[in-house]
A and B are shown apart, each in its own frame.
Chain A
């Protein structure tokens, strides 16, 4: 195999692994935003779940149990966020930023308390397909949770576009007053959307820890939650394009990691910011507001 092909394979492989947590979380954030919440606490959901998954994996000895715990922890953050901002109407950005800071502080402290150890879910490789040139290894040799995306992406799409729940949720995000008049429980739908967002962002965070890395380290999500928000905006509130955004950010991240190994020397501090700069650039160039939910980030209370 030529070195170019090998390099490409390496970058693709790590690109997919880096994009996967973003994709999970983006499926969640997409739903939350369609319901009208610009949910900033994805970062907290992912980071909390990353920590929780390793901790629970250590306690139970099962990486899969850890993964599950991550999902639940993410959902917990989502329900706290939902209760605060769509029941007691605290400003959603304030709630999100406080949760992010809180989870970062808490996990940074807990990680110093004891050794969490290494836990990782099994790897699967699809016989036959894994031997395909260039694409074989990146696509068909993975930690198994990646393949959950194959079910979760269509499910998310179906829920939002085809189910009654999704219809009501979109109405709540576009025009809460009209939805309310129609008899839809706007704030309940928004809380539920946040719960879904939490569960999926949690899955993304947990995948990062027990799936990819196999351990937890301080602030291991490092702002990936914000990339997820950027991906949804970049995607113009369409699921497909949002996932394209995740792939682009994942690949950019992979490229950053691969460059030194390929013999290029670039200031590493500068490189770390590359995906974020790219996100900013992509949003500047490609964002359309067309599908922006009409009441995004606007709290709803019946006027009286």
Chain B
């Protein structure tokens, strides 16, 4: 008799009002397999996983764990059943140390020495180097991911769920993660679910793949028996030109408007401790400059300075030739700088405000009378933006937190791109977007540049840099360590320029 699958979902359906997030989903997770889960933004992937964790309850359908029917009432019970998840948005507590976060996921008395030793041992075994005493808030995204994974693995789960774990990782980090997952699956016989929008990752890292579209399973196959093109087609439901997601995009076409000599954005000697070290960079109107480097080399600090969240210790920011007083709140945006911040939940959106409010938040002047916000105008503008950017939401009045991860990202993009800034800074803009949305984003950014906007793309993804930019600067330990036209750039040269770290 064949052993029962670790987990079997039968006919899972979940509705939110009129939205059917999951529609009769069947899914079987076998031990010793990595199972890829694919689908457009809003297809219902996260919802399905939240049901497995007991964070949501299905309207109908059943779940079998090792062949026995179970009802999952919450994360603690899911953990008891051996189901653990690494979250799309992290489940770590920033002010606590790494070992404390790991201890949180366990039970019994907290023995500091034992937990720290355990973290070290697991780190060793899985190749996830981490200092158990570091404060989680001070870690880079890649390191946080390691902590999440360690926290999960220390619970010894039979089923490990990973919702877009690679969206915040560099290529090297992703490769490392897949190697760890492979070890976890092969040696320890666990079942892994991997959600990703990067088709190349799905095809290389998984054994079996399920595609869902609008809540329904549309394809179920052994990974070896499918192709990226087929997966993309099934996801979207029509033939698509495969672009960025597959990493075969040609170099960007030369910008339509020749880069003017006028510097639209000039950063001079920006220094923050820690983070930036005398960073200088110029972006001209009409060009797309890429800032490339491994996570944790000061990109976050730069984003914070350009969002007005931190005032640098030294250095100046000039927009269109005029220095900006960085101590004045809102000065950057008044000077015509729009920004898509890296950590959307931290700086980009208010999860409890409505979709409509988030869409117009930074441009309330446009929808206000002398004193009051004109609700009708606000809604009209929000509706137009939502349509233009393909934002799927239960309604414009629902709080933003009810949107899928990718749709939240679209809200930020729609707001900032439509603001017609002079300078547009986009940090990791394609994070969390599905294949189609990435293509759309790239087309929009190119259009921005040809309209004469200076665009700065901060990215850890080589494909993105090569596909999108005209010039690339590399950042390492808070400094610009190299600069060259993208046409002359390739993986090797850029790798050398980033201290071999990327």
Contacts and interface: CB of A to CB of B under 8 A. Distances in A.
Interface string B75-86: 110110000010
A175 B108 CA distance: 21
B110 interface: yes
Contacts of A171: 93, 96, 104
Nearest to B100: A167
Interface in B23-56: 53, 55-56
B95 interface: yes
Contacts of A164: 103, 107-110
Interface in B89-142: 90-96, 100, 103-105, 107-110, 112
Interface in A245-304: 291, 294, 302-304
A56 to B, nearest CB: 36
B76 A170 contact: no
A162 B104 CA distance: 12
Nearest to A184: B104
A179 B151 CA distance: 13
Contact of B104 (A163, A182, A294): A182
A175 B109 CA distance: 21
The residue among A164, A167, A183, A291 with the most chain B CB atoms within 10 A of its own CB is A183
A178 interface: yes
A162 B109 CA distance: 9
A164 B111 CA distance: 9
Interface residues of B, number: 29
A174 B110 contact: no
B87 interface: yes
A180 B107 CA distance: 14
A303 B402 CA distance: 8
B401 interface: yes
Interface in A172-198: 174-175, 177-185
Contact of B95 (A162, A174, A180): A174
Interface residues of A, number: 23
A249 to B, nearest CB: 27
A168 B104 contact: yes
A163 B109 CA distance: 7
A167 B93 CA distance: 11
Interface of B is mostly: loop
Given A183-B74, A184-B104, A178 B55 contact: no
Contacts of B96: 167, 170-171, 174
Most chain A CB within a 10 A radius of its CB, from B53, B92, B108: B92
Interface in B462-500: none
Contacts of A162: 110, 112
Nearest to B77: A183
Contact of B91 (A167, A168, A170, A182): A182
Contacts of A174: 93-96
Contacts of B112: 162
B110 A178 contact: no
A171 B106 CA distance: 13
A183 B110 contact: no
A302 B55 contact: yes
Nearest to B53: A181
B476 to A, nearest CB: 30
Nearest to A295: B93
Contacts of B91: 177-178, 181-182
B72 to A, nearest CB: 12
B100 A183 contact: no
A180 B103 contact: no
A55 B75 CA distance: 46
Contacts of B110: 162-164, 167
A181 B101 CA distance: 12
A303 B79 CA distance: 20
Interface string A142-159: 000000000000000000
A179 B56 contact: no
A184 B91 CA distance: 11
A185 B104 contact: no
Contacts of B108: 164
Contacts of B95: 170, 174, 291, 294
Given A162-B110, A163-B110, A182 B90 contact: no
Given A168-B104, A302-B55, A178 B92 contact: yes
A86 to B, nearest CB: 16
Contacts of B109: 163-164
B93 A179 contact: yes
Interface of B: 53, 55-56, 74-76, 78-79, 85, 87, 90-96, 100, 103-105, 107-110, 112, 151, 401-402
13 contacts: A164-B103, A167-B103, A167-B110, A170-B96, A171-B104, A175-B93, A178-B92, A181-B85, A181-B87, A182-B104, A183-B78, A294-B95, A303-B401
Closest 4 CB pairs of A and B: A183-B76, A181-B91, A183-B75, A178-B91
Given A164-B110, A179-B93, 19 more contacts: A164-B103, A164-B109, A170-B95, A170-B96, A171-B96, A174-B93, A178-B93, A180-B75, A181-B75, A181-B85, A181-B91, A182-B104, A182-B105, A182-B151, A183-B105, A291-B95, A294-B94, A294-B95, A302-B55
Interface of A: 162-164, 167-168, 170-171, 174-175, 177-185, 291, 294, 302-304
